[in-house]
Amino acid sequence: MSLHDQHVLMLALLLLGLFAGLASGFPVAFVLGGVAMLVALLGLALGNFDPSFLEAFPNRLFGVMTNETLVAVPLFVFMGVMLEKSRIAESLLEAVASLFGRRRGGLVVAVLLVGAMLAASTGIVGATVVAMGLISLPTMLRNGYCPRLASGAICASGTLGQVIPPSIVLVLLADQMGNAYQQAQLKQGIFAPESVSVSDLFAGALVPGLGLVTLYLAYVLWVAWRHPERAPALRDLTPRSAGDLAKAIVPALALIGLVLGSILAGIATASEAAAVGAVGATAFAALYGRLGVKRLLEVGTQTVKVTAMVFAILLGAALFSLVFRGYGGDDLVHEMLTALPGGKWGAVVAVMLLMFLLGFVLDFIEIIFVVVPIVGPVLLALGVDPVWLGVMMAINLQTSFLTPPFGFALFYLRGVAPPEVLTGDIYRGVVPFIGLQLLMLALVAAFPVLATGLPDWLYG
């Protein structure tokens, strides 16, 4: 057996071991690193693996620890958890519901608008879905809303935080896309490579994110007009004074202005803006008398858990990608993608389809850290715009929160939904919203200016 055939066999073993480990329910970070190490050791024993790839792992660890871009992750997590624990998000939903609830479909509209505002100030899916499920779902069911429409809108509103900046998905994608873009340029002989910043992806995702909100709103308003019995007007809402509305809405709008505005204007980096947002959320919680030592401890503990999970997966994926490259996996992927009909467009379609299918069984973090480093350099070397590709991947990854059986938004809502809401209702309810996400993906593919126009205008 030739060395090439041995490498192909070891790559197959590596991927089979990965999926077997993930199916076992073992922690993802340890599956990625453990399977990679076992296959590497087997290759060393058989003499078909170069140990220098493992020697590069400490440098990868040091690179992760000194990566200023990733500093934004714990800060954005802290901001989102603080808004949830201090009940600022709950007050916002109640205020917006009082404005729109007296109209047909008004409560669903309120859920989507609040989801968009929370997305633009936190970017945390779990916090948004749980808050919406606890506050709005019982009210909608009590007033005769269709369980499928209500649950689908709540799950979809939570996923807006993955596309509308600031978003943890976009932060992680920017880091991986920047590395892939530099690799692609170095292979092309460009030894002063450009990079992709978080600000680039934030600006690129803003228009598609708002477009997705528009599609969601258009759909629920059409359902309310076509089937008024599925989304009736509410008659038992208590009117709110202008002062109460301002008190609930101002914190979210202020955080949007501080965080997103400072990034897009070029005043602050993503990490600096995230720090401002974390401090701002804490200040609002204290201002409204909702910040105590116990709550601050809860927020800090939750932030540490989420951040540790993200970085553990990142380190495991770094080892996995090194072993994958050690067996020539990147060259094999390059050959496969460039051999597809349609050139770069055929390769993009194949990668998008792969990521969509992986979203049924893998978490978005796993897909970013495992798939993007493998396919990113190949696609970018074919001439694909890195910002456009990053936005396309972000929209695609958004569907992974809604696609059964492992859509996290479905689990979040199932955990807080009343017993009369069946799991089947939640699954069927998200189907139209998955279709709208795929429609936006197609629109960005057909009109790349939707993703590249704003970054070009802001940053040239």
- pLDDT computed for residue 338 by the predictor: 78
**Confidence at 445, pLDDT banded by 50, 70, 90:** very high
- pLDDT computed for residue 123 by the predictor: 57
CB 303 within 8 A of CB 81: yes
- Report how far apart, in Å, the C-alpha atoms of 456 and of each of 117, 168, 209 are: 25, 22, 17
- pLDDT computed for residue 438 by the predictor: 93
**Confidence at 210, pLDDT banded by 50, 70, 90:** very high
- Report how far apart, in Å, the C-alpha atoms of 300 and of each of 31, 274, 280, 303, 358 are: 27, 15, 15, 5, 32
Please tell me the pTM assigned to this model: 0.81
Provide the token pair at 105. 């479909």
Alpha-helical segments (H) within 257-342: 262-264, 270-287, 293-326, 329-338
Provide the token pair at 64. 């992760």
Question: Which amino acid is located at 301 in the chain?
Answer: T
CB 424 within 8 A of CB 410: no
Query: 69-99: per-residue pLDDT in tens?
Result: 778 888 888 887 887 788 777 777 777 777 7
- pLDDT computed for residue 236 by the predictor: 62
**Confidence at 29, pLDDT banded by 50, 70, 90:** confident
Instruction: Look at residue 56 and tell me whether its pLDDT is greater than 70.
Output: yes
- pLDDT computed for residue 235 by the predictor: 67
Side-chain half-sphere of 382: how many Cα atoms within 13 Å?
21
Provide the token pair at 371. 């798939």
**Confidence at 399, pLDDT banded by 50, 70, 90:** confident
Secondary structure element (H or E) that encloses residue 211, with its range: helix 198-226
**Confidence at 404, pLDDT banded by 50, 70, 90:** confident
Percentage of the residues of the chain whose pLDDT score is greater than 70: 94
Provide the token pair at 130. 């749980």
- Report how far apart, in Å, the C-alpha atoms of 7 and of each of 134, 175, 206, 322, 452 are: 51, 29, 42, 14, 39
Instruction: Look at residue 46 and tell me whether its pLDDT is greater than 80.
Output: yes
Query: 339-398: per-residue pLDDT in tens?
Result: 788 778 888 999 998 888 888 767 777 788 888 888 888 888 888 899 999 999 999 988
Question: Which amino acid is located at 45 in the chain?
Answer: A
Query: 176-187: per-residue pLDDT in tens?
Result: 888 888 888 877
Instruction: Look at residue 294 and tell me whether its pLDDT is greater than 80.
Output: yes
Average pLDDT over residues 324-350: 83
Average pLDDT over residues 191-211: 85
- pLDDT computed for residue 322 by the predictor: 86
- pLDDT computed for residue 405 by the predictor: 66
- Report how far apart, in Å, the C-alpha atoms of 402 and of each of 36, 48, 135, 345 are: 29, 41, 20, 26
Instruction: Look at residue 435 and tell me whether its pLDDT is greater than 90.
Output: yes
Provide the token pair at 141. 């069911």
Average pLDDT over residues 47-71: 82
d(C-alpha 148, C-alpha 159), whole Å: 17
Question: Regarding predicted confidence, which is higher, 119 or 281?
Answer: 281
Provide the token pair at 432. 């139209």
Average pLDDT over residues 304-332: 83
Q: Is the peptide bond before 239 cis (omega within 30 degrees of 0)?
A: no
Instruction: Look at residue 33 and tell me whether its pLDDT is greater than 80.
Output: yes
Ramachandran category for residue 289: left, alpha or beta (phi over 0 → left; psi -120 to 50 → alpha): left
d(C-alpha 453, C-alpha 458), whole Å: 9
Average pLDDT for the chain: 83
